[in-house]
Structures are given as structure tokens and as C-alpha cells.
Structure 1
Amino acid sequence: MTVLYSWLIAPFADFDFMRRGLVGAVALALSGAPVGVFLMLRRMSLTGDAMAHAVLPGAAIGFMLYGLSLPAMTIGGLVAGCAVALLAGAVARATSLREDASLASFYLLSLALGVTIVSIRGSNIDLLHVLFGSVLALDDATLLLLGGVATVTLMTLSVLYRPLVMECVDPGFLRSVSRLGAPTHLAFLSLLVLNLVAGFHALGTLLAIGMMILPAATARFWIEDVTGMIVLSVVVALIAGWAGLVLSFHFGLPAGPSIILAAGALHVVSLVVGPAGGLLHGLLPRPHLEA
């Protein structure tokens, strides 16, 4: 019992930076995992990954002008993310280029531009901070931002839950019975950008999308109901956040990548043994006449 306490609980009881990291991970789990479920159901996972890199130039410009300023980098990231989403959609509609290719082009340009700006203005440490975050160095302002984003996300999803589910299942039906399709899509993209900017401060631009997609994909192998999937994805994200921080503390690993690796490990286990489409489930013989 003492060994379990020293390994699993003592780091958070004894060290303030570990408690702050855990609070940040909890906030990201509560807000990012539900958004990730809808990203997955809407087949927008790669779009989310592209958008994660799209916030980098705006955050980099904020860094160039004001240093590691939370408001400047947050506002810059929000503006850049929204701008890239709108530009990619406009290019896809005005040209023969499909939206996924348009997003990929803007994402590559955004990543290169952001890294260049940070490299010119700051050091290699600043660049690592931007790319991989600093979940163990979250200050009060950043924790308040993460908590605020989680609150806004959960409240917005509670209001838009029905149209979001309908759009995932049958967008044509939603357009035929309601005019909520376009506003719902825009509101969801805004939530996505908001959560990516929040995740950027804790996990960096390269890993922020991980706390959305991996828990959602893990939950998909256990539950097919959307509501249950959202709840389980949050639980998976919470476990990954806690486990990643514990691994980071005891083995000297970088905290952000450790959290994503923990989420990845849970995903691999679910991929193999999950009852809702896992590999072993597919290999088992089905009862006679089962569809």
C-alpha cells in the first residue's frame, strides 16, 4: 500500500507543479475528449490535426511581439486558426482543389511559418515550448484559461448536442428539417480552434490534438452509443493525463509526450481487445445467423 501511494499519489500530494499539471490535464480531458468524439464521428480527425498546426503562426506572432504572453499567444492562435479554416473552405469552393488538400497546404505553410518566426525571435527552448508545451509549468492564468475553455465547451456542446449528433448521422436530413446545419458546423469549428489553442499552451502545437483524437478513438472500440462514447473518452483522457504525469515524474520523461503515449497505449489495448470492433472480437466466431 505504501509503495502504491508513493508511486501513484505522493507526486501530486508533495509537489505543486504536479498538482498544476494534473489540473491542466483534467481541464483538457473534460473539454478536448468530447470535441474529439465529434471530430471522429464527422470524419474530421485529420482536419483537426491540420487545424492544430494552423494556430502556430498566430501564436508565434504573439510571441514575437510580446514574448511568452498568454493573452497575445492565445489571441494570435485563435485568429490564425479561424483564418486558416475560412481560407481553406473558401479555396475549396472557389477552385478545383478539395478541402482536405487545401487544409494540408495551409497546415504545412502555417507550421513552417510559425517555426521560422519562433526561431528568429527566441531560443531552442522557446521553440520546444511552442511545439511540445509545458504542462508541468502551468501558471494561474493558464489554468484559468483551460478551465474557462472547458466550461465554454461543455456548455456549448450541451446546447448543440442534438444537431451535432444529427449532422454526424445524417447531415442531409438535418438540412431538410432545419437551418441549423451551417451554424452548428461553424460553432463546432470555433470550439475546435478554441480547444486547440488551449491545448497548445499545455501540450504544444504538435501534441494538442492527441488529447482529442486518441481518447475518442479508444472509446469507439468499447461503446457505440454517442453519449456513452463521450463519457468514456473523458475517462480515458483523465487516466492518460494522470498516468502520463506519473511516468514523467518517476522516469524523467517529458510530460506532454508521456501523456500522449499513455493515451496511445490505452488505444492499442482497446484496438486489440475492444468488444465494439476490436481485432480479437473480429476474429471470434459469430453466433449462427448473427448479422
Structure 2
Amino acid sequence: MTLASLLLQPFSEYGFMRRALVATLALSLGSAPMGTLLVLRRMSLVGDAMGHALLPGAALGFLIAGFSLPAMSLGGFFAALVVALAAGFVTRATSQREDASFAAFYLIALALGVLMVSTHGSSVDLMHLLFGTILAVDDAALLLIASVASVTLAVLAVIYRPLVVECLDPGFLRNVGGRGTLVHAVFLVLTVANLVAGFQALGTLMAVGLMMLPATAARFWAAEVWSLALVAAVIAALSGFIGLLLSYHAQWPSGPAIVLVAGIAYLLSVAAGPRDGLLWRHRRRPHRKA
């Protein structure tokens, strides 16, 4: 078997593999810029918290309507927004930091979601919600993922400058009359929307992986915000492609395989990335003469 057949045969022969590949590419285009901005805002763990916070809403939608795309998507979207608003309220009303508030609420949401599915569903249902089934992505889910990615890129193009300023120096944006609160709210809504789209393919536990791991890896390869987002999108797309190949040839679960490949890309970036990677730091370190 040639290298070309190893790389292309699964996608040329099977429609579900092609849909899964298109889904990962669309997720990469939408999620990677959001992950980059979360890293800039030092909100990486907040993104993880909101990803887990989808579960009770998605579980409620599942219990009401079964594996219904609209019900589970809307439930997950509103559940994550409720957690984000509740954590924001506690942060502003008390002296607790934002990351601690998000951690507390996401743990409550995760436990509630697992409890709901465990008591009213089955272990198979729970695994589906937690880890997703990207190889079973249908046309409706693919349309949702592509729509979220398209809207995300369009909105980011409109609010790019104030959003970047709000990420780096929110005080300056307030002083010049910028609508920092509105920009932050739009940012949170886009983040939740992309997590909901990722949930359809990768589940609540894996969706945030494709958003955050490429973004954290990109900082070792690029410096500008736009280049960070571009590199993150490329890493996410390649992770999806390689992860799907591994799931086909090695019979691995597809979602974890994709996120594991993204994790390997992060470790390689830490080791060999030209911007402060370990090998480059070692080469730049002056060596003492004996």
C-alpha cells in the first residue's frame, strides 16, 4: 500500500470520513481564533470550564428530545451562558478571582450533567455526550458547525480591533470610550457557540481540546495575533486530519485521537518551537569556556 493510499483512501472511499474531515476543518477555522484570544486574555481554564458547563444543558436536551441536534445545542448553549454569567456575577460581587468562580460553577455543572444522564440514560449515552461521535456527524450537524465557524470569522472581522485592545488593555479601551463590556459579551457568546459546535463532534470533554491545545502551541511559532490564530488553525486542521487517519487505521476512538495529536503538537512546539522553545533557548544560552 502506497503512502498516498494510506493518507487518502479513507476519505475517498467513505462518506462519513469526508464529513468528519470537513467538520474538523470547520471547527479549526472557528475554534482556533477563539482559543488564541482566550490565551491572550489568560482565560485558558475559563474556556475549559465553559466547555464542561455545556453538559447539563445538553443532557437536559437529550432527556427531553433524545439525540436531537437543536435541543442539545440550545440546552448546551444556554447552560454555558448561565455558568459564564453566574461566575461573572460572583467575581464582581465578591473578592473571588474569575478563574476560581468559573472552576466552582463548571464542577457543579459537570456533576449535575453526569448525574442527569446516569440516572435517566445509559453509559452509552453518557459516553456519547462526554466524548462525542465525530464519525457519525450528519449533514445537520455539519451545517451547524460550518455556520458557527462562518459567523465567528465574520464577527471577529468586525470587532477585531476593539477585541484585541480589550484583551491586552481593557482599561485603555474604557478610557477612549470603547464598549468593552459589549465586546466582552460578544466574545463570550462566540466562545460558547464554538464549544457547542465542537460538542456535536467531540463531546463536552474533548471539544475544548481542539480549541485550546493548538492555540497554546501557536505561541511557540508566531507573535502577532493574526499569525497566532492562523498557526493555531493550521495545527488544529492537521490534528483533525492525522487523528482521523489514526482512528481509521489503528481503530482508535476518533475524538480522543484528534485531541491527542493536538497534544503531541503542543509538546513538540514546547520542545522545538523557534519562539522560546526549549531547544532554541538552549542554543541561545551562552556556553562558558573551560
Give the TM-score of the pair, scaled to structure 1. Answer: 0.96
Give, in whole Å, the separation in 2 of the partners of 1:96 and 1:170: 21
Q: Report the CA distance between 1:230 and its aligned residue.
A: 1.0
Report matched runs for 1:1-291 at 5 Å: 3-285=2-284
Cα RMSD (Å) of the superposition? 1.3
Q: Report the CA distance between 1:95 and its aligned residue.
A: 2.4
Query: Match of 1:40, as an amino acid?
Result: V
Instruction: Pick which of 225-234 and 243-252 moved more.
Output: 225-234
Give, in whole Å, the separation in 2 of the partners of 1:147 and 1:169: 29
Query: Match of 1:221, as an amino acid?
Result: F
Query: Match of 1:64, as an amino acid?
Result: L
Give, in whole Å, the separation in 2 of the partners of 1:78 and 1:250: 34
Aligned residues: 287
Query: Match of 2:193, as an amino acid?
Result: L
Q: Deviations over 1:57-103 (max 9, x none)?
A: 11111111111110000111111111111111111222233222111
* Structure 1 alignment gaps of length 5 or more: none
Query: Match of 2:212, as an amino acid?
Result: I
Give, in whole Å, the separation in 2 of the partners of 1:96 and 1:227: 34
8 Å contact kept, 2:131–2:206:
yes
**Identity over aligned residues, as a percent?**
56
Query: Match of 2:156, as an amino acid?
Result: L
Q: Deviations over 1:106-149 (max 9, x none)?
A: 11110010011111222111110000000000011100100110
- Match of 1:284, SS? helix
Q: Report the CA distance between 1:218 and its aligned residue.
A: 1.2
Give, in whole Å, the separation in 2 of the partners of 1:117 and 1:76: 13
Give the TM-score of the pair, scaled to structure 2. Answer: 0.96
8 Å contact kept, 2:162–2:178:
no
Give, in whole Å, the separation in 2 of the partners of 1:168 and 1:106: 23
Instruction: Pick which of 89-98 and 194-203 moved more.
Output: 89-98
Q: Deviations over 1:226-271 (max 9, x none)?
A: 1111111111111000000000000000000000011111111111
Give, in whole Å, the separation in 1 of the partners of 2:10 and 2:107: 39
Instruction: Pick which of 118-127 and 139-148 moved more.
Output: 118-127
